[in-house]
């Protein structure tokens, strides 16, 4: 009896110790995010009302999803340049099906199936045919963008009003969904495939020889990544109330920037999802704060470029100084 | 005996050439051209093929810089922005005192080379990952472009630029001539100089190269500088061919340059490859695009066809070796 409680206690202690250690890399990032949050709160006190909070989390939500989508792939040593195209595809599929015979439930299911299917197909090509991920997803982005154009050649379609209002209205429903997604991610990490994720990215050969299902873990990562992207597309469609076949374009670069800001490494196995989420929050805050400060678009671009380089370069300098 | 030796040698040599990636890519181009000229009237006409190669010249020149960067183990995602900066920025350097139009061209090339060097500086000294460094540079340049152009198109009134874009000395478009010169120089630098050897060493194993005395920082900067220079050169040719420069004119060249490099058999992971492959790679890309235009499909189907064809070609030429 006392044995098990002791074991569970030391288990908890071990868990906390490990989490503390994993936080070291992102601690300074959390501080920067906090500083930006305070700046945002001072500039725009409405943030602390329910509506302000809802609007803010809604502007962050799709970026958070694509940052997670990119981070999962980067953790396994992959990358995707098709994120933006998948977001667009998710948006047009949602906008063309939800008011049709399939209804909201059928449309949502279809969006999920499309994301999972395309993601899994990409994963199969990359993993089983041993083609470089960056080029496969580059070619894939053309195919997916073409499919989005076939579904909806020009902006149009519609999302039922009640769905738009409940997802992107004055309630922080999007934030709730994000919390659920993060919890699901925690659960996934506890499954065998989730456990294999880091091992497969950190040292594929070693993991394979230790019996880790490396290929399955990587393909599953691509499938989940696809699901997150089309999900982000659904939300974007709900936000705008219609579909647009090129609405997701900017998400490809922003997803990489957010993941890297969050400390995810390109070589696989390095970084944490909380880091990627913080990275996406920082990027989202940066854009909002610069907007409120009245930066011209030019200055925004310049500042964004400088901040990204600075955020990535600073830890390197500190590491060398040690 | 010496004769048979020579026979064996040349036979094995021929086999090496025939099974090499650049040769295979050339063979695919030839095959596509022959089949297409039977299927579609006018595709195989000299004028049409010359036009294809002229279009490929721009991709090929951007891909020259990209090949250097990729072989050295990096990637340059800022080439599209640099092409645009060159095309839009050139008229700014126009000087009345110089009727030949050479000064603005040199100024633009110097500027884009410096942009490339800054990329290299970030990668080599700040240790920022190439993808992030060049991506951030592209974002930065996008801001710069809005200052320069303000959203409107600029017209080139530079005689030398129009010459490069439109003249046909000896019946060959000047753009192709520039590409030929670039190709020869690039191939020599890549395969017959110490710098080229360092390049491959660095791409194959940065640590081993560093311990063997390769100056990593300067080589990295040089590689990105070359990429900036090439993108600038391509921007000038594009401006000459179009007659107008506008924001977004360089956008197609990012994906095209990477695809040309990979289709040519250069490993995206670095350390392996040659510009001799990127040359037919660029022509192949333009050919595919032209074929898809011939098919006369909707933009959606065209995009799908393009992506699928690149994937299929990748299967033929771009596979990475198993690492187990």
User: Chain B: nearest CA to A139, how far in angstroms?
Assistant: 5
The pTM of the whole model exceeds 0.80: yes
Rounded to a whole number of angstroms, the CA Rg of chain B reads 20
Q: What is the ipTM of this complex?
A: 0.80
What CATH number should be reported for the domain holding residue A61? 1.10.3470
In B, minimum Cα distance to A82 occurs at B307
- The answer to whether residue B7 sits within a structural domain is no
pLDDT of residue B323 exceeding 50, the answer is no
If 0-12 CB within 10 Å is exposed, 13-18 middle and 19+ buried, where does residue B216 land? middle
Among A170-174, A305-309, B194-198, B227-231, which is the least confidently predicted range? Answer: A305-309
- The answer to whether residue A195 sits within a structural domain is yes
The boundaries of the domain holding residue A70 are 24-316
- The percent of residues above 90 in pLDDT, for chain A, comes to 30
Rounded distance, CA B253 to CA B138, Å? 13
- The answer to whether residue A68 sits within a structural domain is yes
What does the pLDDT look like over A132-171, one tens digit per residue?
A: 888 889 889 989 999 999 998 888 888 888 888 888 878 8
What does the pLDDT look like over B234-248, one tens digit per residue?
A: 999 998 888 888 887
In this prediction, residues A114-126 reach a mean pLDDT of 94
Asked if the C-beta of A301 comes within 8 angstroms of chain B's C-beta atoms, the answer is yes
Q: Taking a contact as any Cβ pair under 8 Å apart, which residues of chain A between 11 and 40 contact chain B?
A: none
Asked if the C-beta of A200 comes within 8 angstroms of chain B's C-beta atoms, the answer is no
- The answer to whether residue B304 sits within a structural domain is no
In the DSSP assignment, the letter for residue B76 is -
Nearest to B315 among A129, A141, A208 (CB): A129
- The answer to whether residue B248 sits within a structural domain is yes
- From chain A, pick out residues whose CB is under 8 angstroms from the CB of B284: none
- The answer to whether residue B133 sits within a structural domain is yes
Asked if the C-beta of A113 comes within 8 angstroms of chain B's C-beta atoms, the answer is no
Contact B140 A253 (CB under 8 A): no
Nearest to A301 among B135, B140, B303 (CB): B140
Domain count, chain B: 1
- The answer to whether residue B52 sits within a structural domain is no
B263 CB neighbour count, 10 Å cutoff: 29
The boundaries of the domain holding residue B256 are 61-280
**Which residue is associated with the tokens 């990489």?**
A256
- From chain A, pick out residues whose CB is under 8 angstroms from the CB of B128: 309, 312-313, 316
- The answer to whether residue A19 sits within a structural domain is no
pLDDT of residue A311 exceeding 90, the answer is no
**Which residue is associated with the tokens 């194959």?**
B204
What does the pLDDT look like over B133-150, one tens digit per residue?
A: 888 888 888 888 877 777
- The answer to whether residue A223 sits within a structural domain is yes
- The answer to whether residue A139 sits within a structural domain is yes
Q: Given pLDDT bands bounded at 50, 70 and 90, which one contains residue B322?
A: very low
- The answer to whether residue A192 sits within a structural domain is yes
Asked if the C-beta of A129 comes within 8 angstroms of chain B's C-beta atoms, the answer is yes
Output the CA–CA distances (angstroms, integers) from residue A22 to A15, A185, A264, in the order listed.
11, 16, 12
- The answer to whether residue B11 sits within a structural domain is no
Domain count, chain A: 1
What does the pLDDT look like over B63-93, one tens digit per residue?
A: 999 999 999 988 898 999 999 999 888 877 7
CB-based burial, B1-19: b 16+ in 10 Å, e otherwise = eeeeeeeeeeeeeeeeeee
If 0-12 CB within 10 Å is exposed, 13-18 middle and 19+ buried, where does residue B187 land? middle
């Amino acid at each position: 009896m006392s044995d098990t409680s002791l074991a569970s206690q030391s288990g908890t202690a071990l868990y906390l110790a490990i989490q503390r250690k994993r936080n070291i890399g992102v601690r300074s990032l959390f501080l920067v995010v906090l500083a930006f949050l305070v700046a945002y709160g001072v500039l725009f006190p409405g943030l602390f009302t329910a509506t302000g909070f809802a609007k803010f989390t809604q502007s962050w939500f799709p970026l958070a999803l694509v940052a997670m989508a990119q981070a999962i792939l980067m953790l396994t040593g992959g990358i995707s340049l098709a994120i933006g195209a998948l977001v667009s595809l998710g948006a047009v599929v949602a906008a063309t099906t939800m008011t049709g015979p399939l209804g909201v439930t059928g449309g949502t299911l279809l969006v999920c199936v499309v994301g999972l299917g395309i993601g899994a197909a990409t994963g199969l090509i990359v993993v089983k045919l041993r083609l470089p991920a960056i080029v496969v997803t580059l070619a894939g982005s053309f195919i997916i963008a073409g499919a989005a154009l076939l579904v909806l050649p020009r902006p149009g379609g519609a999302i039922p009003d009640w769905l738009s209002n409940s997802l992107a209205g004055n309630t922080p429903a999007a934030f709730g969904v994000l919390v659920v997604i993060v919890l699901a991610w925690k659960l996934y990490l506890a499954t065998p495939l989730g456990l294999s994720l880091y091992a497969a990215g950190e040292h594929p050969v070693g993991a394979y020889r230790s019996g880790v299902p490396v290929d399955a873990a990587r393909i599953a990562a691509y499938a989940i990544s696809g699901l997150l992207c089309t999900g982000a597309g659904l939300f974007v469609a709900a936000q705008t109330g219609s579909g647009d076949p090129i609405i997701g374009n900017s998400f490809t670069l922003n997803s990489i920037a957010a993941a890297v800001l969050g400390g995810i490494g390109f070589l696989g196995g390095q970084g944490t999802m909380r880091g990627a989420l913080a990275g996406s929050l920082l990027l989202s805050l940066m854009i909002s704060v610069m907007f409120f400060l009245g930066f011209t678009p030019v200055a925004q671009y310049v500042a964004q470029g400088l901040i990204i380089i600075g955020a990535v370069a600073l830890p390197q300098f500190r590491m060398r100084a040690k | 005996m010496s004769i048979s030796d020579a026979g064996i040698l040349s036979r094995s040599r021929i086999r090496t050439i025939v099974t090499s990636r650049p040769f295979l890519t050339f063979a695919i181009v030839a095959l596509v051209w022959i089949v297409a000229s039977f299927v579609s009237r006018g595709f195989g006409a000299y004028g049409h093929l010359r036009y294809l190669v002229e279009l490929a010249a721009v991709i090929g020149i951007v891909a020259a810089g990209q090949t250097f960067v990729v072989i050295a183990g990096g990637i340059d995602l800022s080439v599209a922005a640099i092409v645009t900066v060159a095309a839009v920025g050139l008229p700014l350097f126009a000087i009345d005192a110089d009727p030949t139009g050479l000064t603005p061209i040199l100024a633009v090339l110097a500027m884009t080379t410096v942009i490339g060097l800054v990329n290299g500086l970030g990668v080599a000294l700040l240790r920022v990952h190439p993808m992030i460094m060049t991506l951030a540079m592209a974002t930065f340049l996008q801001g710069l472009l809005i200052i320069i152009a303000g959203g409107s198109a600029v017209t080139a009134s530079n005689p030398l630029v129009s010459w490069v874009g439109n003249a046909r000395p000896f019946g060959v478009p000047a753009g192709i001539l520039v590409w030929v010169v670039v190709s020869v120089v690039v191939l020599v630098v890549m395969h017959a100089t110490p710098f080229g050897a360092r390049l491959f060493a660095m791409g194959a194993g940065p640590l081993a190269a560093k311990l063997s005395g390769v100056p990593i920082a300067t080589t990295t900067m040089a590689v990105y500088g070359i990429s900036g220079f090439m993108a600038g050169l391509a921007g000038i040719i594009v401006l000459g061919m179009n007659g107008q420069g506008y924001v977004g004119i360089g956008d197609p060249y990012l994906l095209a340059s990477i695809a040309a490099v990979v289709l040519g058999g250069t490993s995206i992971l670095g350390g392996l490859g040659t510009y001799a492959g990127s040359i037919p790679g660029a022509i192949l890309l333009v050919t595919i695009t032209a074929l898809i235009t011939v098919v006369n499909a909707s933009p959606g189907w065209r995009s799908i066809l393009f992506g699928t064809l690149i994937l299929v070609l990748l299967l033929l030429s771009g596979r990475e070796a198993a690492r187990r």
